[in-house]
Chains A and B, each alone.
Chain A
Amino acid sequence: MGRIVLEKVTKSFGDVEVIPPLDLTIDDGEFAVFVGPSGCGKSTLLRLIAGLEDVTSGSIKIDGTDATMIPPAKRGLAMVFQSYALYPHMSVRKNIAFPLRMAKMDQAEIDKRVDGAASVLNLSDYLDRRPGQLSGGQRQRVAIGRAIVREPAAFLFDEPLSNLDAALRVGMRMEISELHTKLETTMIYVTHDQVEAMTMADKIVVLRAGNIEQVGSPLELYRSPRNTFVAGFIGSPKMNLIDGDEAKRHNAHTVGVRPEHIEVSDSAGTWTGVVGVAEHLGSDTFFHVHETGLAETITVRADGEVGFRHGDRIHMTPRDDVLHKFNAEGLRIE
């Protein structure tokens, strides 16, 4: 069972407050993703939960017990690091067995659990190798193996996929999601990649400068971002944020339109502009449109068959039903 509750947690390094008072609850079995730009405090927050950093004030409860002063080893959490942090001098088997050995578990049980984890993660053939002899993806699996054998109350992932190449990242992303479905254990996952957040999370926590900007399911965040920061951060390509007269027409300071909510045409539409860069992905085409009089660039996501090119003048019609409105403070207006 791994319900994690943070109450008025703060963290300062010297005079610099990285985490202002923050409250957060992660329910048992939930896949929570902390997402935000680099330097937003997401890794620090994870390390506070892990116990690798001490909170400056506030409390952290794991399973109802106050874990604030408990050392990392005793919190019953397992962590997967960005650099994998495998023990280079130990074989894969010994790496995975290490936490069990530290727990003074008997050898037969250790062997059983290590073999179990290895078969789940397709590592059975590599148990006698050293980490240095493995590929990036295999190392990542070893790191995950080392975490799952302990049967922890929760898993903490600190940008675990950012050292992998793009193709492998998509594969591992799914493996981690499947693992979560199988184990039904609480997972907290830190990333700066909103695609990872959207695809994996039950609950996304968007952070900026140590503050929680919004907490919600991926679709909640996508459909009703609480402010312009979340609006711009969640979704790819980014939401178009338009100020000025066009926004006033909708009684707002800023209006937001997602690129996929704009229709393009060569004859008629609400807005017009000139295509700058056209990115043809096959399935979709992204147009970066200039000279619209609305914003510097309006991004449009169109069907892959739409064949406008650089320099073409096009007409665009936003869908009014999914228009996002924000006030002068950048907050959402319903």
Chain B
Amino acid sequence: MARAVTSQRKALNTAIAWTIGLIIFFPILWTILTSFKTEAQAINDPPIWFFFDWTLENYAVVQERSDYMKFLWNSVIIAGGSTLLGVIIAVPAAWSMAFVPSKRTKDILLWMLSTKMLPAVGVLYPIYLIFIELGILDTRVGLTIVIMLINLPIIVWMLYTYFKEIPGEILEAARMDGATLREEIIYVLTPMAIPGIASTILLNVILAWNEAFWTLNLTAANAAPLTAFIASYSSPEGLFFAKLSAASTMAIAPILILGWFSQKQLVRGLTFGAVK
């Protein structure tokens, strides 16, 4: 018999889930609300929840003061470009580790992950100098490369996990059927791993979009993405919370919408292989 779930129990669980959900969502909600307040209302004590004079003034000011589209475009190129580049590099890497593992494969995987544990600031200086030397400081190319490299271990790890779930016999069948390695990856492996690859791409776009350390340190005006756009509204003095919130809302809106529409795919991908 299935486990009996009483209606009270169900209601309680629902309430708990909503509470946790709201707590997680609260900072975003507060940012969005604040973006519609005046600067004075934004720092009012006690805080005003909903009954303030709703205004679009902050958005107007932000639009006027900076070129949102340019930042947005930079974000799209850097997040999209670094993800695409990362996946192109990671698919063959994950393929070889999943299907022709050597004695060192586990070590390589752990070593790659260990680079994520290094404080980014530790390599800022050398990377900064390399960027100057190569003349790619404050360029989209430079930023795309560095962000791709930063997220590459995660992409390889995720793809590796998905590829592991694909039975090796199917790839052997492709080999017997005359597929070259390239054809095997394009026609057999990739289509079978689509859910995994899709969620890897989504997660990586989100990570790259939100990346602030490198984007803030390696850009000035030309290649600055939305993270730099937000940061430019924070200042040591004066009232800026409402405008900062408006900028933040504009910066997170695209990724929020993307996440909303792809949440099913994202959850499916992240639990891929866990349930057969």
Contact = CB atoms under 8 A, between A and B. Distances in A.
Interface in A69-109: 71-74, 77-79, 81-83, 85-89, 98-99, 102-103
Nearest to A88: B192
Nearest to B179: A102
Contacts of A87: 170, 173-174, 188, 191-192
A52 interface: yes
A146 interface: yes
B177 A83 contact: no
A72 B167 contact: no
A73 B176 contact: yes
Given A83-B167, A102-B183, A78 B176 contact: yes
A187 to B, nearest CB: 15
A19 interface: no
B64 to A, nearest CB: 51
A89 B193 CA distance: 10
Contacts of B194: 89
Contacts of A78: 176-177
Interface in B167-198: 167, 169-170, 172-180, 183, 187-188, 191-192, 194
B178 A103 contact: yes
A35 to B, nearest CB: 21
Q: Which applies to chain B's interface (DSSP): helix, strand, loop or mixed?
A: helix
Contacts of B175: 52, 71-73
B191 A89 contact: yes
Given A83-B167, A83-B169, A77 B179 contact: no
A264 to B, nearest CB: 47
A275 interface: no
Number of chain A interface residues as a range:
20 to 34
A52 B169 CA distance: 10
A313 to B, nearest CB: 51
A50 B176 contact: yes
B180 A73 contact: yes
Contact of A81 (B173, B178, B183, B192): B173
B96 to A, nearest CB: 17
Nearest to A75: B176
A89 B196 CA distance: 14
Interface centre among B177, B188, B191 (most CB of A within 10 A): B177
Contacts of B179: 73, 98, 102
Given A81-B169, A83-B167, A89 B178 contact: no
Nearest to B175: A72
A52 B177 contact: no
A86 B172 CA distance: 11
A295 B161 CA distance: 53
Contacts of A83: 167, 169
Contacts of A81: 169, 172-173
Contact of A52 (B172, B180, B188): B172
Interface in A224-249: none
Contacts of A150: 177-178
B176 A102 contact: no
A85 B191 contact: no
Nearest to A158: B169
Interface in A47-80: 50, 52, 71-74, 77-79
Contacts of B169: 81-83, 85
Interface centre among B175, B183, B192, B194 (most CB of A within 10 A): B175
B173 A85 contact: yes
A75 B174 CA distance: 14
A81 B176 CA distance: 11
A204 B264 CA distance: 53
Interface in B128-174: 167, 169-170, 172-174
B170 A85 contact: yes
Interface of B: 167, 169-170, 172-180, 183, 187-188, 191-192, 194
Interface of A: 50, 52, 71-74, 77-79, 81-83, 85-89, 98-99, 102-103, 146, 150
22 contacts: A50-B176, A52-B172, A72-B176, A73-B175, A73-B177, A73-B180, A78-B176, A78-B177, A79-B176, A81-B169, A81-B172, A83-B169, A85-B169, A86-B173, A87-B173, A87-B174, A87-B188, A89-B194, A98-B174, A98-B177, A102-B177, A103-B178
Given A85-B173, A98-B177, A99-B176, 7 more contacts: A52-B175, A72-B176, A78-B176, A81-B172, A87-B170, A102-B178, A146-B177
